[in-house]
Structure 1
Amino acid sequence: MTMVAVNFAFSGTELIGIAAGETENPHKVIPVAIRTTIARLIIFFIGTVFVLAALIPMQQAGVEKSPFVLVFEKVGIPYAADMFNFVILTAILSAANSGLYASGRMLWSLSNEKTLPACFAKVNKRGVPMTALSVSMLGGVLALFSSVVAPDTVFVALSAISGFCGGGGVVEHLRLALYVPPPPSAAG
C-alpha cells in the first residue's frame, strides 16, 4: 500500500500531456507548465518536509496528530485541525476532478482511435465528452463504494490492479525507449 500512496502523491503530472491536446500554442505553454510543475514539486514536497523538520522536535513527531496541525498549534493558530481538514478535503476534490478529466479524455481519445465504441467520442456543444465522463464517474463512484463496503478485499484488489497497470505502463515505456531511435542531435 505504500507504493500506492507514493504513486498517488506523484500522479497528476501526466495531465500536462493530456491537456496539451486542448491547449493553444502548446509548444510555448507546455514547457512552461513542465518547469512550473517541477518547481511546485520541489516547493510543496521537499520544502514542506524541511519546514516541518525545522519546526517539530524529533521527540514530538508521531502519528497521533498531523505534523501540519502541530506546527499550526505551535504558532498559535486556532482551529488548526479544522483548517487542515478543509485543505485536505479541497485537495481530494481537486485530485478527483483532475482524475475524472483525465479518464474521460482517455476514453474519448481511445474512442476516436476506434479502440472503444463510438459513443465515447461524442461531445456536447461545449466539447465535453459526457458519455465518457459519465462512465468515468461511475467507475470512480464504484471504487469509492468498494473502499467503504469492502476495504480489505475489493478495494485492495482494485488498488493492486491499478498498481499493476501503472507498473506495466512503466515497463512498456522502458521497452519502447529501447526500440525507438533517439532524435537527431541539433549539433549534427
Structure 2
Amino acid sequence: MGENKEFARQYLGGEIELELTPQGTLAERLRAGGVGIPAFYTASGVGTLVSEGGLPWRYGADGGVLVSSPPKPTASFDVLLGKDTEYVLEQAIRTDFALVRAAKADWHGNLVFEKSARNFNPLVAMAGRVTIAEVDEVVEPGALDPDEVHLPGIYVDRVVGLTPEQANDLPIEKRTVRTRQEG
C-alpha cells in the first residue's frame, strides 16, 4: 500500500475489498485477459496463501477478516527436468475500462510509453473492454515510426490529448533532491 495512507485506511477499515496477487502473476493475468486466454497455470504462489486461500480480501470495521481468498485449483505437470511440478490455476483479468497514460500517440491510438510506464500500461490497456489513453503529445497518423510503437491502436478506444500544463502536472510523483557534498 506504499505511501497511500487513504487507501490503507479504506482497506484496513473494511471499506474496500482487495485481492493481493504476485506482481508477475498480475502482469500475466492482464496479458491473458487482453489476448483472450481465460486462465493459465503458474508456479508462483504454490504452497502459499495465494494458492491455499486465506488471504484477507476484506476486513471488518473491528479489524477482523470478513472475506478471505478461496483456495485455487492446482495441478502437477511434467514440463521441467523430467519431474512433476505443481502449478496454481490463475484466471485472466478482463476489465470494463482501462485508463492508461502514454507519452505520445497518434489519433489511431498507437501508443508510445516512457520508461517504467512500459511495464504495466500496455498490459492494462490490452485487458480493457474500453481503453482510454491520456496522452502527453498527440501526433498525426503516420508520424510515429512503427518501431517506436509500444501498443498498437487496436487496443485503444479513445485518445485524450493533454495540454502541456496538464502533461507536466504529475501529483503522484515526488522529486527528492539534496545538495552534493563537496569532497
TM band (smaller chain): under 0.3
Greater RCO, 1 or 2 (C-alpha within 8 Å, sep 6+)? 2
Instruction: Give TM-score, length-normalised by structure 1.
Output: 0.23
**Bigger strand fraction:** 2
Instruction: Give TM-score, length-normalised by structure 2.
Output: 0.24
